Amino acid sequence: MSDWGPVFVAVVLFILLTPGLLIQIPGKSRMIEYGNFQTSGVSILVHSVLYFALICIFLLAIGVHILSCFSTTMADWGPVLIGVVLFVLLQPGLLFQLPGHSRPMEFGSMKTNGKSIAVHTLIFFTLYAILILAVHVHIYTG
């Protein structure tokens, strides 16, 4: 059996913390902007720190597990670190945006839209699930 808890938590946090979907901290003209579908390097950094803090709380402190066939007393940092790295790299508009506004793919546009958030979430889910459930990447600390 596989533990789907880290996958579920990581994907939900990816969606909720994508800058510009629900909120953007900092915004373009105000400290917090809501639903503006914009992003920036600073807001991706801030949202990444929030993502890291929340995924640590859910996976390490609370220990969210779904259908886990094992338990361990050591902290597994693999799901946390993989989640944070993928969160940053797959932010729509940072490195690429699929689909873009005027082309099928745009690079470094610092903009997003609902379709690209959905596509990037699907890519995030696929890569995260492969690395956590199929490849079994674990980083244990005692």
Chain-centre distance for alpha carbon 30: 24
Each residue of 33-46: pLDDT tens digit?
A: 999 999 999 999 99
Q: How confident is the model at residue 72 (pLDDT cuts 50, 70, 90)?
A: low
Report d(CA 17, CA 11) in Å as an integer: 10
Stronger pLDDT, 72 or 96, i.e. the higher one = 96
**For residue 71, is pLDDT > 70?**
no
Q: List the domain boundaries for the chain.
A: 5-141
Using alpha carbons, list the distances in angstroms from residue 6 to 25, 60, 141. Answer: 25, 10, 17
Q: What is the pLDDT of residue 68?
A: 46
Question: What mean pLDDT is predicted for residues 15-22?
Answer: 95
pLDDT in the model for residue 70: 53
Across 9-70, where does the E strand assignment appear? 23-24, 33-34
| Cα dihedral across residues 15, 21, 27, 32: positive or negative | negative
Residue 22 has pLDDT above 90, yes or no: yes
Confidence at 4, pLDDT banded by 50, 70, 90:
confident
